[in-house]
Amino acid sequence: MAEEESLGFRDFGLDPRILQAVADLGWERPTPIQEKAVPLALDGKDLLARARTGSGKTAAYALPLLQRLLLLKATGPAVEQAVRGLILVPTKELAQQAQTMVQQLTTYCARDIRVANISASEASASQRAVLMEKPDVVVGTPSRVLHHLQQDNLKLRDSLELLVMDEADLLFSFGFEEELKSLLCHLPRIYQAFLMSATFNEDVQALKELVLHNPVTLKLQESQLPGPDQLEQFQVVCETEEDKFLLLYALLKLSLIRGKSLLFVNTLERSYRLRLFLEQFSIPSCVLNGELPLRSRCHIISQFNQGFYDCVIATDAEVLGATIKGKRRSKGPKGDQASGDPEAGVARGIDFHHVSAVLNFDLPPTPEAYIHRAGRTARANNPGTVLTFVLPAEQSHLGRMEALLGGEPGTPLLLPYQFRMEEIEGFRYRCRDAMRSVTKQAVREARLKEIKDELLHSEKLKTYFEDNPRDLQLLRHDLPLHPAVVKPHLGNVPDYLVPSALRGFVHPHKKRKKPSSSKKTKKKTQNPLRSFKHRARPRPAVKTS
């Protein structure tokens, strides 16, 4: 009955061109945040909206923004072309994602509405040319928008009608407080504003006082993560650090995790250590490194979404490590710098497509970190699984985190995943063999090798190398980097090492073939991860066939 009473996109009174784009995107009904926010926004209200990651917040502000622009342009040709919509986001990746969403929704009115992304700091000249044409919507980070305002490339005082701050709880924590205050001085006195966030904290309240006027607060009565029918959350207690590597090897090599997965660690150094470890077993993975250029990071995400590989290793340290007030970026354990790009972010908002599982190889430092990691899976109506590896010394921290996440006393939010480590004990010697090859020197050289490859293939440095061929020769004839010696025998798993409960049921991880759009045959088979989990749990009675 509730579904019959809920609003559809046509009930919003949107322009037919927007409705056609919505239909092409396959959106059947508005999400809860869209259903509540869009009508209020169309009525001209300022909004302070909180909804969990993956709930459709981007469309919740994009739809009313585009509708307002189309109505304005429909009044006649006398309307002067100007920048009327400004979307502020904390990271370059989110800026590109917001631009893509707006462009998708303007597929059938692209001649009427133009959107420009000015988040890339290395493209000032080309951005100046774009801004001279006065696009209808500008997307960017606060620092880049302020730069163009100060250079008079962008003028908003007489034209801006709608301001959006997406992922508002990160804008201050990312060190944009001063930029935002300066930026607001360039805006008109009256405009409509939206603050969209996954959490409400002191920073959001401060922004509310700065930009909103008598706002409507939307705090949906929903958990910050999907329910257990959509998202399964487990904790896996590992006695030692070695057990974590052993368990991850078994889960991936035996294909107990099906589909795409994201592995989260707490430092960049750990990312490369984990990648080199998996490389020993011919398990393809990729590190999303904030030290690399934006184009490289977006290319990694794009290839992951297209299915070229199934496993990305990421760290949220570059985002959530900066949540302490101030502009200085914090460091991870052992002084590992979180990221070389202060506007790079992984854990928040980035749209990884169809992630089946999130593995917290390292325990998230805060409840917010857990929410934003887990929010990468179980998006829209797709199911997902989160496995969190926990050492005995971390149990108390996990308990406090569960309490803050809303877990009931005596009922753990993260169900215990009682994995019988003795079932995979035969793999331990292989695990130790691989870990011996992943030395600190190998990790350091792996990071240097990626940066070196970026330099060699950089279009921006092409002219420099033409003028300075000796520098190019020094790069190319430097000592070859061998991050880790890969031992071929570790890539194969003999049948006798496969746990008896899984023989004939799973097949060891094989090299991934290039994805083919023509072969999309999916067989409905039982999830081997779930099957092995239940087989591994001690039970008072076991059915025998």
Flag the least confident range among 230-244, 348-362, 500-514.
500-514
Phi and psi torsions of 91, nearest 5°: -135, 160
Residue 527: the pLDDT is 55
Question: Which helix (DSSP H) or strand (DSSP E) does residue 163 occupy?
Answer: strand 162-165
The mean pLDDT of 280-290, rounded to a whole number, is 86
> Do residues 184 and 257 both lie within one domain?
no
Helix, strand or coil, per DSSP, at residue 539: coil
Check if the beta carbon of residue 221 is closer than 8 Å to that of residue 73: no
Residue 503: the pLDDT is 67
Residue 135: the pLDDT is 96
Residue 222: the pLDDT is 61
- For residue 502, what are the contacts with CB-CB under 8 A and spacing of at least 6? 254, 256, 528, 532
Residue 522: the pLDDT is 45
> Do residues 188 and 248 both lie within one domain?
no
Question: Which helix (DSSP H) or strand (DSSP E) does residue 202 occupy?
Answer: helix 202-211
Q: Indicate if the pLDDT at residue 238 is higher than 80.
A: yes
Q: Indicate if the pLDDT at residue 73 is higher than 80.
A: yes
Residue 471 — very low, low, confident or very high, per pLDDT cuts 50/70/90?
confident
The mean pLDDT of 478-504, rounded to a whole number, is 64
Helix, strand or coil, per DSSP, at residue 220: coil
> Do residues 380 and 433 both lie within one domain?
yes
> Do residues 58 and 198 both lie within one domain?
yes
Domain assignment present for 175: yes
pLDDT, one tens digit per residue, over 162-194 is 999 998 888 876 778 889 999 999 999 999 999
Residue 361: the pLDDT is 96
Flag the least confident range among 117-121, 151-155, 243-247, 349-353.
349-353
Distance CA 513, CA 400 (A): 43
Which of 219, 247, 273 terminates a domain? The answer is 219
Check if the beta carbon of residue 54 is closer than 8 Å to that of residue 379: yes
Record the tokens describing residue 143, joined without a space.
């620092």
The mean pLDDT of 292-299, rounded to a whole number, is 73
Quick one: which of 159, 164, 162 has its CA closest to 140? 164
Which of 219, 249, 281 terminates a domain? The answer is 219
The residues with which 232 forms a beta bridge, in sequence order, are: 385
Helix, strand or coil, per DSSP, at residue 440: helix
Q: How many CA atoms lie within 13 A of 51 on its CB side?
A: 25
Stronger pLDDT, 144 or 298, i.e. the higher one: 144
Domain assignment present for 23: yes
Most confident by average pLDDT, 122-126, 222-226, 514-518, 526-530:
122-126
The mean pLDDT of 36-43, rounded to a whole number, is 95
Domain assignment present for 451: no
- Using only C-alpha atoms, the chain has a radius of gyration, in whole angstroms, of 25
Distance CA 236, CA 1 (A): 40
Most confident by average pLDDT, 126-140, 317-331, 350-364, 464-478:
126-140
Residue 153: the pLDDT is 93
> Do residues 63 and 13 both lie within one domain?
yes
Stronger pLDDT, 181 or 543, i.e. the higher one: 181
> What share of the chain has pLDDT > 90, as a percent?
38
Q: Indicate if the pLDDT at residue 337 is higher than 80.
A: no
Residue 228 — very low, low, confident or very high, per pLDDT cuts 50/70/90?
confident
CA 309 to chain centre: 16
Quick one: which of 54, 85, 89 has its CA closest to 198? 54
Residue 521: the pLDDT is 44
Stronger pLDDT, 106 or 293, i.e. the higher one: 106
Quick one: which of 144, 145, 91, 85 has its CA closest to 115? 85
Stronger pLDDT, 481 or 366, i.e. the higher one: 366
Domain that holds residue 396: 231-438+484-513
> Do residues 401 and 336 both lie within one domain?
yes
> Do residues 251 and 372 both lie within one domain?
yes
Distance CA 179, CA 150 (A): 11
Question: Which helix (DSSP H) or strand (DSSP E) does residue 358 occupy?
Answer: strand 355-360
Distances 36 to 7, 39, 47, 138, 219 between C-alpha atoms, Å: 9, 7, 10, 25, 10
> Do residues 367 and 505 both lie within one domain?
yes
Amino acid at 478: D
Residue 229: the pLDDT is 84
Distance CA 277, CA 139 (A): 39
Amino acid at 83: V
Stronger pLDDT, 489 or 324, i.e. the higher one: 489
Distance CA 248, CA 359 (A): 9
Domain assignment present for 125: yes
> Do residues 155 and 263 both lie within one domain?
no
Domain assignment present for 97: yes
Q: Indicate if the pLDDT at residue 131 is higher than 60.
A: yes
> Do residues 202 and 261 both lie within one domain?
no
Let me know how long the chain is: 545
> What share of the chain has pLDDT > 70, as a percent?
76
- For residue 507, what are the contacts with CB-CB under 8 A and spacing of at least 6? 255
Distances 328 to 121, 265, 324, 404 between C-alpha atoms, Å: 19, 21, 9, 27
Amino acid at 453: D
Q: How many domains does the chain have?
A: 2
Q: Indicate if the pLDDT at residue 287 is higher than 50.
A: yes
Phi and psi torsions of 58, nearest 5°: -60, -50
Check if the beta carbon of residue 362 is closer than 8 Å to that of residue 389: yes
Domain assignment present for 532: no
> Do residues 237 and 210 both lie within one domain?
no
Distances 71 to 65, 66, 168, 251, 442 between C-alpha atoms, Å: 10, 9, 27, 54, 59
Give CA torsion, residues 453, 513, 282, 492, to 10 deg. -160
Q: Indicate if the pLDDT at residue 7 is higher than 50.
A: yes
Record the tokens describing residue 304, joined without a space.
């992951």
Residue 195 — very low, low, confident or very high, per pLDDT cuts 50/70/90?
very high
Flag the least confident range among 278-292, 294-308, 471-485.
471-485
Distances 249 to 282, 432, 491 between C-alpha atoms, Å: 11, 11, 11
The mean pLDDT of 523-535, rounded to a whole number, is 50
Helix, strand or coil, per DSSP, at residue 355: strand
Distance CA 317, CA 339 (A): 8
Residue 282: the pLDDT is 87
Which of 185, 219, 253 terminates a domain? The answer is 219
Most confident by average pLDDT, 222-226, 253-257, 464-468:
253-257
CATH number reported for the structural domain that contains residue 87 in this entry: 3.40.50.300
Residue 48: the pLDDT is 94
The mean pLDDT of 38-55, rounded to a whole number, is 88
Residue 103 — very low, low, confident or very high, per pLDDT cuts 50/70/90?
very high
pLDDT, one tens digit per residue, over 375-412 is 888 876 678 999 999 999 999 999 888 888 876 556 67
Residue 147: the pLDDT is 93
Domain assignment present for 452: no
Flag the least confident range among 57-66, 87-96, 356-365.
87-96
Residue 544 — very low, low, confident or very high, per pLDDT cuts 50/70/90?
very low
Check if the beta carbon of residue 224 is closer than 8 Å to that of residue 51: no
pLDDT mean across residues, the chain: 80
The mean pLDDT of 24-47, rounded to a whole number, is 93
Q: Indicate if the pLDDT at residue 3 is higher than 60.
A: no
The mean pLDDT of 50-75, rounded to a whole number, is 89
Domain assignment present for 160: yes
Distance CA 29, CA 31 (A): 6
Residue 56 — very low, low, confident or very high, per pLDDT cuts 50/70/90?
confident
> Do residues 192 and 235 both lie within one domain?
no
